[in-house]
Amino acid sequence: MKHIQAKRIVLGLTGGIAAYKAAELTRLLLKQGVEVQVAMTGAACHFMTPATMQALSGRPVLVNQWDAVGNGMAHIDTSRNADAIVIAPATADFIAKLAHGLADDLLSTLCLARDCPLLVAPAMNKQMWANAATQRNVAQLKADGVQILGPASGMQACGEEGMGRMLEAGELAAGIALFLNTLPLSLAPLPESGGVVRGMDGVKILITAGPTYEAIDAVRGITNRSSGKMGYAVAQAALEIGAQVTLVSGPTALDKPLGARVIDVTSAAEMFEAVRQRVTDADIFIGVAAVADYRVAQPSVQKIKKNADTLTLELIPNPDILAYVANLPEPPFCVGFAAESENLREHAATKRKAKNIPLLAANLAQQAIGSDENELVLFDDAGEHVLPHSDKLTQARALLQHAAKLFRTGHKS
């Protein structure tokens, strides 16, 4: 097997309060198999210490252009070994430097002398962001081919609310991974796969994720403990291999995958309708959501008052989304998920056969729900394939590799 070359970035921190997010961003990038070399301006050191960033990245932090590093040409050598430079946070001042080609410290010099793409995550007060000078500078960076990540609108450190807040670490990590199309060194193909799928450009993938919520009354409902993490990881993995992703999501607390079209729903009926409207345009359907099997027949518009020792609810079946999609006259390639509490292989194999789908991923609910890690077993016509215990994004990438190969060879049922 040919190993996949690890991606390397330079993460540049400038002097803004959002610099604290760089710590989590570094952790997430390393988790995705990206090597991170941190470089900081003097102002950034007032918000985050180089010692902290060195401990997180595992590498000495570049700060002073006069420090003796290697051959004394850190501003040249560092970018030559990087796949991209990411400035997060990027202050209005530093954006102005980039737009006008100024180089008066190590980080700005490194950016000017770069031989790789530059990504910038703005972070500033809403008035600074809206200022005509800042907007001119950002427009110039875009014209120069610089990728702008964000900003977002929200509460700012100054107490005001508006546009200028830096994207959250998870959103930035997803955007950077998408830009790099990164794959971890640990990702190996399944034994019979014959290689690693590098691209699915133009393939349309429809994914469901998260729990559904079925109302009992105005304040109560039936749901489950699904966090949506696996479905969102599958969406991220699909984006990384070039697919066009539509994510139909039940209620979660997760950041939206950057680059995906996200449809927010609440109930199983709403999820079914969202899928029904979009599935005919999909090449691949992946049903990861933990859809409630039943809903209350007559939910109350008002809160039900406690006036008896018992309360009887009549439950009726929800539509089976996966079965509906798999039984369309011309179905997309279907991937199902099964969360079992016991007899995993027996129940998963039975479900795949009953649904008549080419690929099913199964796990133990007690190990997977709410966790950041998982172990998946894939079931297809050739048998079963175990994906060893690892984080969910690594699991999702391996699943997508296997699904892509079956899809390409026409194994639809």
Q: Which of 45, 111, 116, 158 is catalytic?
A: 158
Sheet holding 373-380, edge to edge: 261-264, 244-249, 204-209, 284-287, 333-340, 359-364, 373-380, 383-391
DSSP calls for 310-360 = -----EEEPP-HHHHHHTSSSPPEEEEEEEESS-HHHHHHHHHHHHT-SEE
Pick the closest to residue 193 from 389, 376, 411 (CA basis). 411
Q: Look up 334 and say whether it is catalytic.
A: no
Token pair belonging to 37? 């070399």
- What is the three-class DSSP state of 134? helix
Contact of 217 with 300, CB cutoff 8 Å: yes
Beta partners for residue 120, in sequence order:
87, 148
Pick the closest to residue 333 from 236, 205, 210, 230 (CA basis). 205
CA atoms within 13 A on the CB side of 51: 1
d(CA 286, CA 279): 11
Contact of 89 with 19, CB cutoff 8 Å: yes
d(CA 377, CA 412): 19
What does the angle CA 3 – CA 243 – CA 369 come to, to the nearest 5 degrees? 80
Alpha carbon separation from 154 to 166, 194, 203 (Å, rounded): 9, 47, 34
Cβ-Cβ contacts under 8 Å for 7 (sequence gap 6 or more): 33, 34, 35, 83, 84, 180, 182
CA dihedral sign of residues 47, 51, 54, 59: positive
Q: Tokens 């394939």, residue?
A: 385
The single-letter code of the amino acid at 338 is A
Active site residues: 158
